[in-house]
């Protein structure tokens, strides 16, 4: 089918707009359905790709869901004096498997599905978000963007300036601080050492791999942790078989998400025989240390990463 070859890039576009892999899949299907229903109106005045982006963008703008968050967008670092349960009333940001990227544009797409970028653009009003993505990510001229959004060129340029200013306030000063590159040998070495430490419940090995100011989050739990000592103290409780908060043992599988190295975590809880899908943890490695960990506790994500539900 003529439109099918655009599925991968449309999925990424909808994911950037909505911050949700599940909703992006639904919106791509909605895009194809709208395209089929209105196929007679497509007179070849524009390329099929541009026509589909118009439909997809408007479908996303019609989506009235609240912006998606990470725990650090919701509250301050975890305070051990308070206990917090998972929050199902919060629309959490979801990870995106690198395996679903369009091979032809994967280098650019990895750069703009970084979690820091996605979390930042979620704060933009939907139309500003659309303008920023169309102009700065896809490289559309102002005239085509205005036509897609049924607005004027001055309005598009104004929205782009406001969006850029808002992003500048939320993103690191230097773009290279958030734009991911291809995995390096050093990064992969850290990843595999970290996987071995998790499987062995080796707190000493984990301590050697964490940055002093490491940040860890695990949606849908709203708490997040700041600092090596805090993270280690939390792991010590959950990894100790004598602790009432013991979670069990882990097995891990290497993967990639949001342009970064990631780990699929399989958990064998107390009294369980096998290892069941538990979380996808996206890592950021800087200077040979794990600087950030975001573990998305949602077994429903595993099929998108082409991972089995159990080991």
Q: What is the pLDDT of residues 69-116, one digit of tens each?
A: 899 888 888 765 555 566 778 889 999 999 998 777 666 677 788 898
Q: What is the pLDDT of residues 184-225, one digit of tens each?
A: 788 899 999 999 999 999 999 999 999 999 999 999 988 899
- The reported pLDDT for the residue numbered 182 is 55
Q: What is the pLDDT of residues 245-296, one digit of tens each?
A: 999 999 999 999 998 999 999 999 999 999 999 999 999 999 999 999 999 9
- The reported pLDDT for the residue numbered 176 is 45
195 dihedral zone (left: phi>0; alpha: psi -120 to 50; beta): alpha
Please check whether residue 56 is in contact with residue 31, taking contact to mean a CB–CB distance below 8 angstroms.
yes
Q: Say which DSSP state 289 is in.
A: E
- The reported pLDDT for the residue numbered 79 is 63
- Please state, for a pLDDT cut of 70, what percent of the chain lies above it: 89
Round the average pLDDT of the chain to a whole number and report it: 89
Choice among 29-33, 39-43, 65-69, 94-98 with the minimum mean pLDDT: 39-43
Confidence of residue 169 (pLDDT cuts 50, 70, 90): confident
- Average pLDDT for 20-34: 95
H-helix or E-strand spanning residue 6: none
Confidence of residue 45 (pLDDT cuts 50, 70, 90): low
In 3-141, which ranges are continuous DSSP H helix? 7-18, 21-37, 48-62, 71-74, 106-111, 115-121, 126-132
| Beta carbons within 8 Å of 109's beta carbon, 6+ residues apart | 9, 12, 101, 102, 259
Confidence of residue 50 (pLDDT cuts 50, 70, 90): confident
**The pair of three-digit structure tokens given for residue 125, joined into one six-digit string:** 């009003």
* Distance of alpha carbon 46 from alpha carbon 198, whole angstroms: 52
- The reported pLDDT for the residue numbered 77 is 86
Q: Judge whether residue 174 has pLDDT over 60.
A: no
Q: What is the pLDDT of residues 117-159, one digit of tens each?
A: 999 999 999 999 999 999 999 999 999 999 999 999 999 999 9
* Distance of alpha carbon 31 from alpha carbon 36, whole angstroms: 9
Strand order in the sheet with 224-226: 224-226, 210-217, 289-296, 276-286, 260-268, 249-257
Could you give the domains of the chain? Answer: 4-177 (no CATH), 185-305 (3.10.450.50)
- The reported pLDDT for the residue numbered 64 is 77
Please check whether residue 276 is in contact with residue 266, taking contact to mean a CB–CB distance below 8 angstroms.
yes
């Amino acid at each position: 089918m003529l439109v099918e070859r655009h599925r991968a890039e449309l999925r990424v576009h909808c994911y950037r707009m909505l911050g949700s892999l599940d909703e992006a899949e639904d919106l791509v299907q909605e895009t194809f359905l709208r395209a089929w229903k209105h196929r007679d109106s497509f007179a070849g005045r524009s390329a099929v790709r541009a026509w589909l982006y118009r439909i997809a963008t408007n479908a996303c703008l019609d989506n009235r869901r609240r912006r998606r968050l990470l725990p650090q967008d919701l509250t301050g670092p975890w305070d051990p004096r308070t206990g917090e349960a998972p929050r199902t009333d919060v629309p959490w940001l979801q990870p995106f498997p690198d395996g679903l990227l369009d091979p032809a544009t994967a280098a650019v797409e990895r750069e703009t599905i970084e979690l820091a970028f996605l979390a930042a653009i979620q704060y933009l009003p939907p139309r500003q978000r659309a303008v920023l993505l169309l102009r700065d990510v896809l490289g559309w001229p102002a005239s085509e963007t205005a036509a897609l959004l049924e607005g004027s060129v001055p309005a598009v340029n104004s929205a782009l300036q406001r969006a850029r200013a808002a992003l500048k306030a939320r993103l690191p000063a230097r773009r290279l601080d958030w734009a991911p590159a291809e995995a390096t040998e050093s990064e992969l070495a850290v990843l595999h050492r970290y996987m071995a430490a998790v499987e062995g419940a080796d707190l000493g090995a984990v301590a050697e791999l964490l940055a002093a100011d490491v940040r860890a989050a695990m949606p849908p739990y709203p708490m997040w942790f700041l600092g090596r000592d805090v993270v280690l103290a939390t792991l010590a409780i959950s990894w100790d078989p004598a602790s009432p908060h013991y979670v069990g043992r882990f097995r891990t599988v290497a993967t990639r998400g949001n342009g970064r190295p990631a780990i699929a975590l399989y958990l064998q809880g107390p009294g369980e025989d096998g290892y069941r899908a538990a979380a996808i943890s996206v890592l950021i490695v800087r200077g040979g240390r794990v600087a950030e960990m975001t573990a998305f506790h949602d077994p429903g994500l595993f099929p998108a990463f082409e991972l089995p539900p159990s080991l």
